[in-house]
Chain A
Amino acid sequence: MARNRVTLLQLCMRSTTLILLYLLSFSLLRAQFRIGVDIGVTQNYFHTTFPGQVEIASKPLPGKYLTIPICYSLSRSVQVEVDPSIIDKSFTLGRTGSYQGIYTDYKNTYLQLPVLVKFDRGERWKYNVGVGLYSAYWWKGRINGKTADIFSAIPGGDGNTYRYKLVPFQKNYVFDSEIDKRVEFGAVGACGLSRSLNRSLNIGLNARLYYSFTNMNRSNSVSYIPSKNRTWVFSVAFIYSILK
């Protein structure tokens, strides 16, 4: 199983490198070259099964997204896009039921490099769809939330339960190379709508889903804790044609 996983990662890396090399050589020869800025918001869904934990649920947290899209038109309707980005993949783990009020917000920021093949149709208004692969590096993280102060315990009315005061906490996430897997690989799907403002400038509205294949932590088969990001991005892009 571990061997298969490594093979998949290697495949992703090789594919990304090959696409980049292909793009570079091809665009230098004949393609239209465009560059821009893409700003948006993220909504990250953290997927886990909470092993050993009870009364807990994961919810997405909003985040920010900034990329400098670099596009190469391979033909009238096919283009390849590389999007070096800074992207938040944040989420909250909140306790439910009798532990309601206890929560932890994980605000994680990644440096990300997706490569997409996009297909578009239309004249003044164009719609597009695209697919690709991405790799990302977990750059930094911050944790904050509220937990129960154990020393504030007051017996409840039934004598068997306790009531606690909730106290805030926050810290920068400290990475541990034995536990954290900071490199993430995955697939990306995109769709969008764009319109030419003039001969050189385009404005676009985009929606994307970044689907991670890899876990955020390293673990053996017994301590395996699923922890994968699924990140939606909704953004506005301004793309400028600089070479014909």
Chain B
Amino acid sequence: MTKLLSIIFFISIISWSCKKDHVKEVQEDAIGSFVDLFDSFWSKMNMRYVYWDIDSTNWKNCYNRYRSRFNALDIHSAVDQAVAVGYLKEMTSSLIDGHCQINCQFDLIQPSTINPSADKKRLQHDFHSPFVYAGVDSFFLDSGFIFGRYVTKSNEQVTALTGTIGKDIVYFSCSEFELREAFSAPGSNGVKAVFERYQHLLGSIAVQHNLRGLIIDVRNNPGGSLPDLSFFVGQLCSKDFVFGGMKYKLGPGPIDYTGWMDATIGSAGNLSVTNSKIVILVDQYTKSLAELVAIAIRTFPNSIIIGEQTWGATGTVSDGNLYNAGSFSVGRFLTVYTSASQFRTLGGQVIEGKGIVPDYSEKFDQQQLLLGKDNVLSSAITWLRQ
């Protein structure tokens, strides 16, 4: 009898192992109340946000504080929809991710966007509106400079500008990093022409020792496509090089990471200007890939960064499924745009939410700019000619 019982128990254990686990997950199409929306948003942020190991936001406390508040709201009330947007803004106000943006689409109120890092910037004493520098800086360039435009596949207009200053300094700027796409596009376009001219000028720096150096202007540059990092910075070096570290999510656990791995830039040619003097111009709207370009070039021995402290959005945004981290949506109500990986500098610092502190700080002066005077560009020229 005992033997029979033990066999039955053993078999039941084996069959039990085939049983599926039960998980409480909010189904996307079943979001019918604010508490469902809250549960889905909270758990997805918990699983997909990549800065939980260093972010000061107490996400567990947010769960305890806000769940009951959302539970008290009616999803069919315009007033409560506005209150919910306010709660979401409060919950996310201290997130450090410089890319984080939450687009809210409720049917009874106007669509709205929550941007925690932009809200924090607006409170800074040196906050200013974005400024387009190309109009001023083209007056610094020698005759023969090239300015070009390109409309991307996603219908965004990108501009680029290159030329020489005083015949001995090469200057390059672009409004956004979509250079590879423009360069690879069939036929001719303005940005492609600018880039070809820039490559020619880089060749001059490499062989002509009478050239003082290079200015790369990434002010008011919000970043762009990741392949542009190696495509653009790779033009300056003949060998691959490490410029920092990356950390990726491994699973749904909030701090389930790979550990730090080398962030490498691949060489894009045989030229090397890494020993030339290079100045990178930045401002508080230098963001994302533009910040990574500045950090990468700053690893060269004779390079410096001049301008304002940058935005602080150095994590990378990618296809949300690649690392099962980063951007996601909550039903038809919320679209959350957020980083999918962490970046740190060669010195081991994560500057997300803080930005790059320039080697030489130069304040933004709109009055002078409107008079055609660019003190940041002037400082760069002075440093190169020292």
> Which of A's residues lie within 8 Å of B, judged by CB?
45, 47-56, 77-78, 93, 99, 104, 117, 119, 121, 129-131, 143, 145, 147-155, 159, 162, 164, 167, 169-171, 176, 179, 187-191, 209, 211, 217, 220-226, 228, 230
Question: Using Cβ atoms and an 8 Å threshold, which residues of chain A touch B13?
Answer: 131, 187-189, 209, 211
**By the criterion CB–CB under 8 Å, are B251 and A189 in contact?**
no
Complex Cα gap A162–B25 (Å): 31
**By the criterion CB–CB under 8 Å, are A159 and B324 in contact?**
no
Question: Using Cβ atoms and an 8 Å threshold, which residues of chain B touch A154?
Answer: 227
**By the criterion CB–CB under 8 Å, are A93 and B251 in contact?**
yes
**By the criterion CB–CB under 8 Å, are B248 and A147 in contact?**
yes
**By the criterion CB–CB under 8 Å, are B63 and A222 in contact?**
yes
**By the criterion CB–CB under 8 Å, are A52 and B322 in contact?**
no
Q: Mark B1-40, 1 if CB is under 8 A from A, else 0.
A: 0110011011001101100111111100000000000010
> Which of B's residues lie within 8 Å of A, judged by CB?
2-3, 6-7, 9-10, 13-14, 16-17, 20-26, 39, 42-44, 46-48, 63, 153, 180-181, 226-227, 229-230, 246, 248, 250-255, 258-259, 261-266, 316, 318-319, 321-324, 328, 340-341
Question: Using Cβ atoms and an 8 Å threshold, which residues of chain B touch A47?
Answer: 21
**By the criterion CB–CB under 8 Å, are A191 and B42 in contact?**
no
> Which of A55, A104, A129, A145 makes the CB contact (< 8 A) with B7?
A129
Complex Cα gap A147–B16 (Å): 34
Q: A48-B21, A119-B2 are in contact. Are A99 and B10 (CB under 8 A)?
A: no
Complex Cα gap A167–B2 (Å): 55
Complex Cα gap A188–B9 (Å): 10
Q: A131-B6, A162-B319, A189-B10 are in contact. Are A56 and B324 (CB under 8 A)?
A: yes
**By the criterion CB–CB under 8 Å, are A119 and B6 in contact?**
yes
**By the criterion CB–CB under 8 Å, are B318 and A150 in contact?**
yes
Taking chain B's interface residues, is the majority helix, strand, or loop, or is none over half, making it mixed? mixed
User: Separation in Å of the A111 CB from the closest CB of chain B?
Assistant: 22
User: Separation in Å of the A121 CB from the closest CB of chain B?
Assistant: 7
User: Separation in Å of the B228 CB from the closest CB of chain A?
Assistant: 10
**By the criterion CB–CB under 8 Å, are B10 and A49 in contact?**
no
Q: A53-B251, A54-B321, A55-B321 are in contact. Are A155 and B227 (CB under 8 A)?
A: yes
**By the criterion CB–CB under 8 Å, are B23 and A51 in contact?**
yes
Q: Can you spell out 12 A-B residue pairs with CB atoms less than 8 angstroms apart? A: A52-B47, A150-B226, A150-B248, A150-B340, A167-B262, A171-B259, A179-B255, A189-B13, A190-B10, A222-B46, A225-B23, A225-B252
Complex Cα gap A174–B116 (Å): 31
User: Separation in Å of the B73 CB from the closest CB of chain A?
Assistant: 17
> Which of B16, B23, B255, B322 makes the CB contact (< 8 A) with A224?
B23
Q: A52-B44, A129-B7, A211-B16 are in contact. Are A151 and B258 (CB under 8 A)?
A: no
Question: Using Cβ atoms and an 8 Å threshold, which residues of chain B touch A226?
Answer: 21-23
A220 nearest in chain B by CB position: B63
Complex Cα gap A113–B46 (Å): 34
A131 nearest in chain B by CB position: B9
**By the criterion CB–CB under 8 Å, are A230 and B153 in contact?**
no
**By the criterion CB–CB under 8 Å, are A179 and B25 in contact?**
no
Question: Using Cβ atoms and an 8 Å threshold, which residues of chain B touch A48?
Answer: 21
Question: Using Cβ atoms and an 8 Å threshold, which residues of chain B touch A159?
Answer: 153
User: Separation in Å of the A225 CB from the closest CB of chain B?
Assistant: 5
Q: A54-B321, A150-B316, A151-B264 are in contact. Are A169 and B258 (CB under 8 A)?
A: yes
Question: Using Cβ atoms and an 8 Å threshold, which residues of chain B touch A145?
Answer: 250, 258
**By the criterion CB–CB under 8 Å, are A211 and B17 in contact?**
yes
Q: A45-B17, A121-B3, A189-B10 are in contact. Are A143 and B250 (CB under 8 A)?
A: yes
**By the criterion CB–CB under 8 Å, are B153 and A169 in contact?**
no
